[in-house]
Structure 1
Amino acid sequence: MKRFLITLACLCGLSLAACSPPPTPIALPATITPAPSASPTSTATPTVLSTNTPTALPTSTRTPTPLPCWQGGGTLERTSLSTPLLKLPMEVVVYLPPCYAEMPQHYYPVLYLLHGQNYTQEQWVRLGVPELADRLMGTGEIPPYIIVMPHDRLWEDPPNTPFDEAFLQVLLPWVDSTYRTVPDREFRAVGGLSRGGAWAIHFGLHDWQLFGALGGHSAPVFWSDSPHIAAWLDTIPPESLPKIYLDIGEKDYLRDSNDWFEAQLVAHNVPHEWHLYSGYHEESYWQAHAEEYLRWYGALWKLP
């Protein structure tokens, strides 16, 4: 935390070159089958529900002397990663926050966002995530972080697909070696919508040592994962449980699976945030809530 505050102090000064601490995160402004249904009682009217204490949304953290590049927005980089684990290269879109190139001494948290089935790595781009990130980071409403959006072209559930191996063994190391990241679970989150949300739940619980938070947006649980959820929740040390955010539309056809997973979290006393909104399983729903998602992830790395 001391390093984190040193970085902020440097940014507030007129000369960035006068401060060069060690690498620290900066604090500037086919159909998925739902898991077996054991859902809690449905809420008749769309509501926003929370279990335990939700993570607060960030307040403004504007720097007194913002750099001009903050208003220029972030940048998108597109590449593909070849690996023997996959028959075809993994296509990836990476969002770099404003001032990334102009501030080479700074290191950033990373959010991995996974798309839905029948879509590609461009889905989150089409939903407006880069523009939302530009605005929220440019005004200091959320801290800057890197967003990585990979393509999962395989529609099998784990363990019948090598996507999870490629994601963990190829993508994550590549991101940490290519970009200025903070390679620590507390500064790494994974989220996704629909099938991508099922992967976020899988990675966040099965590979909890790598991720400090997970977000499931209209997310079911993989059939193959549902028998293991309880054991995973019991295995993770209480102090290491990832922060969890769930949301779903009232009329979403995957709601039974989502409700079942939320009931498991309640039964195991796992702190989490769960929202039930009006809406269906469709892009207009995710687009309407994309800003809320980015704010929640950004709040993970906000200075106290």
Structure 2
Amino acid sequence: MKYLNKKLSWSLLLVIAIFQTADAAIVDTVQTYSPSMKKNIKAVVITPDNYANATALPVVYLLHGYSGNYADWITKAKGFEKNADLYQMIIVCPDGNNSWYWDSPVDEKYKYETYVSDELVKWIDGKYKTIKDRKGRAITGLSMGGHGGLLLAFRHQDVFGAAGSMSGGVDIRPFPNNWDMAARLGKYAEHPENWEKNTVANMLYLLTPNSLSLIIDCGTEDFFFKVNENLHEQLQLRNIPHDFIARPGGHNWPYWTNAINYQLLFMNTYFKTPLKK
């Protein structure tokens, strides 16, 4: 009987292993094109294993941080791509080129707001089986990409129905000398209007209750924690529903590798929730 139990245990483990490896998300690197910047831009596109049999799938646009690139998520948060199978969604990771996802008012070579919110969305919708509606689109990211995810969703609520941020630079004004932002907006002392207009913290007037499904996550040891906490409080004052997650952690990949699972669960819940009539 002891031997039989051992055989059954190994058989069960084998079945579990086969089940776990049967679905494997498909990861592709593609060349997209930006008409506004007249150049090709790489992106990682993750589709579920059974994509060939799908009809129309929701899409999450997942943005990287400063000094990163389109491949960051797939190389530094290994295993997160399984969420494409788990939730039957497409995940798109575009290259942001340290742009902070703005259309720069001082450098015409940087039009990444136009690229992500318009050109890339149209490119993906033209090449993949997607739900071509805001109810089937969400956007999130880390650090610079957390700022970008909220900024693009706030400004383009006709495109995205849900948005998130992980350790996002949601108020850029306390950091006037950091991360090439002055190269994209001009120096804060010389062009304060560019900074005031292009920080997420000053865009809450664009929101009405439930106009977007929102999730904001930041570690309590993160240098961006205070600006995220302030954003949470301002959203509360305006009665804007949102999820806010604050837990121990810093500005690093171990935190984001964990956080992305909460973000994609949130996005999946949004995709599955019927529209209120």
TM-score range, shorter chain: 0.7 to 0.9
Q: What pairs with 1:48-127 in structure 2 (closer than 5 Å)?
A: 71-86=22-37, 88-101=39-52, 103-104=53-54, 106-127=55-76
SS for the counterpart of 2:123 is helix
- Kindly state the Cα deviation for residue 159 of structure 1 after the two structures are TM-superposed: 4.1
Name structure 2 gaps, 5 residues minimum.
Answer: 1-18, 105-109, 174-194
Amino acid at match of 1:276: A
Q: Is this contact kept in 2: 1:116–1:192, CA < 8 A?
A: yes
Distance 1:96 1:157, change over 3 A: closer
Local SS of the residue matching 1:211: coil
Q: What residue identity is the alignment partner of 1:261?
A: L
User: Could you tell me which residue of structure 2 aligns to residue 29 of structure 1?
Assistant: none
> Match of 2:267, as an amino acid?
Y
Structure 2 counterpart of 1:150 = 94
8 Å Cα contact 1:77/1:93 also seen in 2: yes
RMSD of aligned residue pairs (Cα, Å): 2.6
In structure 2, C-alpha distance between the alignment counterparts of 1:295 and 1:225, rounded to whole Å? 32
Q: 1:73 to 1:228 in 2, by over 3 A?
A: closer
Q: Per the alignment, in what secondary structure is the counterpart of residue 300 of structure 1? A: helix
Gaps of 5+ in 1: 1-67
Q: CA deviation at 1:264?
A: 1.7
TM-score, structure 2 length as denominator? Answer: 0.74
**How far apart are 1:295 and its partner, in Å?**
1.8
**Per-residue deviation at 1:92?**
0.5
TM-score normalised by L of structure 1: 0.68
2:202 corresponds to 1:258: no
For residues 242-273 of structure 1, the C-alpha deviation after alignment (integer angstroms, 9 at most, x for no partner) is: 11101111110111221221122111110000
Identity of aligned residues (%): 25
| Paired residue total | 229
Q: 1:75 to 1:228 in 2, by over 3 A?
A: closer
Q: By percentage of residues, which structure has more helix?
A: 2
TM-superposition CA deviations, 1:218-263 (whole Å, max 9, x none): 0122443667757743444435x11110111111011122122112
- Structure 1 or 2, whichever has the larger Rg, is 2
> Which residue of the partner structure matches residue 37 of structure 1?
none
Letter in 1 for 2:132: P
- Deviation track 1:262-296 (CA, whole Å, cap 9, x = no partner) reads 12211111000001110111111111333222222
Secondary structure, counterpart of 1:154 in structure 2: coil
Counterpart residue number, 2:262: 292
- Residue of structure 2 equivalent to 1:17: none
